[in-house]
Amino acid sequence: MTGTVRLMSIGEFSSRSRLSVRMLRHYGEHGVLVPAEVDPTSGYRRYAEEQLAEAAHVRRLRDVGFTVSAISVLLSARGTESYRQALVLQRESLGNELRAARERLALIDQLLDQEGSAMPITVTAEVVPARTIVALRGVIPAYDQEGVLWGQLMPLLGQQGIAPIGPGGALEHDPDYRESDPDISVWVPVPTGTSATEPVEVHEVPEQRVVMARVEGPYSLITEAHARIDEFVRDKRLTPAPRNGRDDPIEVLGSNRYLSDPTTIAPEDLVTEVCMPLA
């Protein structure tokens, strides 16, 4: 450093940068915002005024959720496509967290209203008419990643000239709940007589007696819908359709039908029908 450069104590730099002394020391130890000068005898840290701009950038990256190690990498990558892509990915991650938080808030509201009249889940016994569906089956990492299959099914239907005639849903092939890798089919209803080529399959689903939970709210309420269905089945002394394994016939599989498009409306406005077939 030259004698013309004004250096600040760590306290003054902290005040002007709005970063605590503790965090400034932490950043310095990790190669982020290294002091312009460290007294070899006292260990006092001093910072150049020009470092305030760097400090502001560090603070912004911290405030959007980047770790110290990530900030170190990003500072060296400024102005590159890698830097921009990191920001895009972080934005997507924060968006996912926001959606998850909204769903948790909706679940809390549902729990608060559980004893009142405002019930976003209603359960009834229904008869679902026979229908023809086309479906795409696959194993996905988790239930909330069903969109992977939808992203494959809809283009395939377009290529084969198949047009859905109503809202679709998902079928669960596993006879038990899976923490990961569930076996799922996504489906849409189509006119009788529709044909399809692999990997799309056509299924004729016979008339079904089901217990149906209508869920008004985010998909995180679907788990609660299953609890409500179980209560209804016990109270009414009904018998669920027996399950044996992944190759059970389609009419005994639990299913969801999505009456709303999650890409166009808020999670709290979604409407889903959750069905348990009866014996």
Coil, strand or helix at 2: coil
Burial class (CB in 10 A: 0-12, 13-18, 19+), 171: buried
Give me the sign of the Cα torsion angle 106, 108, 109, 113: positive
Structure letter (DSSP) for residue 251: G
pLDDT in tens, the chain (279 residues): 445 678 999 999 999 999 999 999 999 999 999 999 999 889 899 999 999 999 999 999 999 999 999 999 999 999 999 999 999 999 999 988 888 888 788 777 767 765 544 557 899 999 999 999 999 999 999 888 999 999 999 999 999 999 999 999 999 999 998 889 999 999 999 999 999 999 999 999 999 999 999 999 888 888 888 988 999 999 999 999 999 999 999 999 999 999 999 889 888 889 999 999 999
pTM value is: 0.64
pLDDT in tens, 167-222: 999 999 999 988 899 999 999 999 999 999 999 999 999 999 999 999 998 888 88
Residue 103: its H or E element: helix 81-112
Specify the pLDDT at position 115: 55
Tell me the domains of the chain and their CATH numbers. 7-76 (1.10.1660.10), 121-277 (3.20.80.10)
Specify the pLDDT at position 214: 96
Tell me the sheet residues that pair with 205: 131
Specify the pLDDT at position 63: 92
> How many CB atoms lie under 10 A from the CB of residue 261?
9
Burial class (CB in 10 A: 0-12, 13-18, 19+), 73: middle
Give the tokens for residue 161.
């000239």
Of 203, 180, 218, which Cα lies nearest the Cα of 253?
Answer: 203
